[in-house]
Chain A
Amino acid sequence: MKPFDYKFQTFEPIKSFRGAPREEMYVPGHRTCAGCGPALNYRLVGKAAGRDTIFVGPTGCMYVANSSYLCTPYAVAWIHAQITNGGAVASGIEAAYKVMARKGKYDGPFPNVIVMAGDGGSVDIGLQALSGLMYRGHKVLFICYDNESYANTGIQTSPTTPYGAATTFTPPGKVIPEGKTLFPKDPPQLIIGGHPAVKYVSTTSIAYPLDLINKVRKALSYPGPTFMHMLTPCPKGWKFDENLTVEIGKLAVDTGMWTLYEWEDGVYRYQHLPKKYKPVGEYMKLQGRFAHLKEEHIAKEQAFVDQKIAHVKATAIPVEAVPPVAVKKKKK
């Protein structure tokens, strides 16, 4: 029996900012903080995905801040999901479109179904639904925008909060000087290898917009489930000046706290690998959430990052990539 043609969309990569689609699917007019990393991420993802898209928005900053009050900045279809079930609601939407297409009730291009979940809604309270979605093979892109906390409720720790970060649930104190004592989960690694239907997982950052847009378009061109992990710095939660959002994103990559890579059906490819890594202190000193740390804590963080870097060096296939957002030149 010939497989049914659902009219899945495919996307070409872009080579420059000029080549990015000009239309905004995430328009001005939302209550996110000035300089909000996740908001910039949403905008770039919307640009990459285009009009035939349905966003699923689990509760979080990218729900509450975006949709206050009774109005949203989404120029495409969007639905609120619980923080617990982004993956499941998206599964239902995708299943509905599949059966409606087969029954002749819908004949347009198969919509991009994209879950925009925070780190909590992806690998903490939302983990079950994420895994179910990945397992069942729905054609859905699950995006974890990582601001490394439960930001919307006032910055509480989540499983991706880095070691040593101060949050309102991991405040530094006399007995617990470092604040957060646990090391974070690695979201892409939770998905890779354990879910046979998944053929593409990648990480990216708002500091590398072309990398981000191209990876989103690549993920959307897959006929099955895909997962992306985005670094989206949060000025309020990480305590830095809001104009530094993109710079912090770049420093994360320069220090090895974040690595940009793709995993495609068993093959890892790395983008923008630093030739020489900067010490993690340079990244952490710009952020108030690390201001309480002593030398020994920073050393622990460095050791954790060094482990990651060693693994990358052992396995990496670095690739040429479009240059990142231009670095601020020194004042004359």
Chain B
Amino acid sequence: MSKKLPGYGTIRVPQEREVPFGAITPAPVRQQDLFVTSNWRMVRPVIDQETCTRCLTCYIVCPDACWSYNEEEDQMEWNWKFCKGCQICIHQCPVECLSPIPELDFEDGVQRLEKPF
């Protein structure tokens, strides 16, 4: 009898369209490389290391954690890959050692990414 009844068909998700079980994804470790935001910015904050007092204000106020303090080299380091160019750090720096420079002035200035995200 069941030979004559229709089946339920098959379901196979192609590998390139696979989504994780229960929409549960692994946590990122130090940065989320699946969502790069460098091409958002129109200016980038450039630091004058001589004037900088290492107060760590820029590091604290960045919503994207793009400033970090390198203890060994004793200087602030900037994250090229994720800075959105919001300029909060420039605005909040107490000694004005950060300046906004147009992104396209730089050789490694980001114009577009291969994929939007």
Query: Do chains A and B directly touch (beta carbons under 8 Å) in the complex?
Result: yes
Q: A29-B32, A244-B91 are in contact. Are A68 and B63 (CB under 8 A)?
A: no
Q: Nearest chain A CB to B49's CB is how many angstroms away?
A: 18
Q: In chain B, residues 8-61, which have Cβ atoms closer than 8 Å to a Cβ of chain A? A: 19-20, 23, 25, 27-37, 40-41, 55-57, 59-61
CA distance A161 to B15 in the complex (A): 46
When chains A and B are docked, how far (Å) is the Cα of A188 from the Cα of B15?
49
Q: Are A243 and B56 in contact (CB under 8 A)?
A: no
CA gap between A32 and B81 in the complex, in Å? 15
Q: Are A329 and B94 in contact (CB under 8 A)?
A: yes
Q: Mark A8-41, 1 if CB is under 8 A from B, else 0.
A: 0000000011101010101111111011110110
Q: Which residues of A are found within 8 Å of B31, using beta-carbon distances?
A: 27-29
Contact A32 B65 (CB under 8 A): no
Question: Taking A71-B25, A246-B92 as contacts, is the C-beta distance between A35 and B35 under 8 angstroms?
Answer: no
Taking the closest CB of chain A, its distance from the CB of B58, in whole angstroms, is: 10
Closest to B79 in A: A28
* Pairwise interchain contact B117-A209, C-beta atoms closer than 8 A: no
Task: Please tell me the size bucket of the interface on A.
Answer: 35 or more
Contacts of B62 in A (CB 8 A): 40, 43
- In whole angstroms, how far apart are the Cα atoms of A125 and B107 in the complex? 49
| A27 adjacent to B32 (CB under 8 Å) | yes
Question: Are B28 and A34 in contact, CB atoms less than 8 angstroms apart?
Answer: no
Residue A105, interface by CB 8 Å? no
How many Å lie between the Cα of A18 and that of B32 in the bound state?
25
Known: A75-B29, A326-B92, A328-B91. A39 touches B35 (CB 8 A): no
B-contact 0/1 string along A57-84, CB 8 Å cutoff: 0000000000011111111111000000
Q: Which of A17, A68, A243 contacts B57 (CB 8 A)?
A: A17
Q: Which residue of B lies closest to A209 (CB)?
A: B60
Q: Are B66 and A326 in contact (CB under 8 A)?
A: no
B91 touches A18 (CB 8 A): no
Q: Which residues of B contact A24 (CB under 8 A)?
A: 30, 65
Taking CB atoms, residues of chain A closer than 8 Å to B68 are 22
Q: Does A203 contact B (CB under 8 A)?
A: no
Query: Given the interface contacts A17-B57, A70-B23, does A325 sit within 8 Å of B28 by beta carbon?
Result: no
Chain B interface helix/strand/loop/mixed = loop
Could you tell me the distance between the alpha carbons of A54 and B66 in the complex, rounded to whole angstroms? 24
Q: Are A325 and B79 closer than 8 Å at their CB atoms?
A: no
Q: Tell yes or no: A245 within 8 A of B by CB.
A: yes
Q: Return B61 CB to nearest CB of chain A, in Å.
A: 5
A73-B20 contact in complex given A17-B56, A27-B65, A30-B64, C-beta closer than 8 Å: no
Option from B23, B28, B117 in Cβ contact (under 8 Å) with A73: B28
Shortest beta-carbon distance from A232 to chain B in Å: 10
- Nearest CB in chain A: distance from B69 CB, A: 8
Partner of A40, one of B35, B40, B61, B84: B61
Interface string of B57-89 (1 = CB under 8 A from A): 101111111101100000000010110111110
CA distance A13 to B52 in the complex (A): 26
A212 to B33, CA, bound (A): 28
- In this complex, what residue of B is CB-closest to A32? B63
The 8 A CB mask of A226-254 against B (1 = contact, 0 = none) is 00000000000000001111110000000
Contact of B30 (CB < 8 Å), options: A27, A206, A244: A27
Cβ of B36 and Cβ of A209 under 8 Å apart?
Answer: no
Q: Shortest CB–CB separation between residue B56 and chain A, in angstroms?
A: 4
Q: Are A34 and B27 in contact (CB under 8 A)?
A: no
5 A-B pairs with CB atoms under 8 Å apart are: A27-B28, A43-B65, A72-B27, A73-B32, A245-B86
A-B pairs with lowest CB-CB distance, top 3? A29-B32, A28-B82, A243-B87
